[in-house]
Amino acid sequence: MTHDFDQCIDRRHSESLKWNYYDEDVLPMWVADMDFRSPEPVIRALHERVEHGVFGYGWDPPELREVFVDRLQRLYDWQVSPEALVFLPGVVTAFNLVCHAFGSRGEGVLLHTPVYYPMLYAPGGAGMTRNEMQLTRQPDGRYEIDFDLFEQTISDRTRIFILCNPHNPVGRVFRREELAQMADICLSHRILICSDEIHCDLLFEGNQHLPIATLAPEIADQTITLMAPSKTFNVPGLKCSLAIVQNPELRKTLKETHTGLVHGVNIMGYAAALAAYRDGQPWLDEVMRYLEANLDLLVEYVEEHLPGISMSRPEATYLAWLSCHEAGIPGNPHEFFLKEARVAMNDGAVFGQGGEGFVRLNFGCPRSRLTEALERIKGALLTLDGG
Q: Which segments in the chain show pLDDT lower than 50?
A: none
* The model scores a pTM over 0.95: yes
Number of structural domains (the chain) is 2
Residue 4 within any structural domain of the chain = no
Residue 321: the pLDDT is 98
Residues 264 and 302 occupy one common structural domain: no
Domain hosting 339: range is: 17-40+281-381
Q: Are residues 309 and 263 in the same domain?
A: no
Residue 46 placed within a domain: no
CATH code (residue 372): 3.90.1150.10
CB atoms within 10 A of CB 153: 19
Q: Are residues 331 and 294 in the same domain?
A: yes
**Quick one: 249 and 183 in the same domain?**
yes
Q: Are residues 251 and 369 in the same domain?
A: no
The verdict on 214 and 333 lying in the same domain is: no
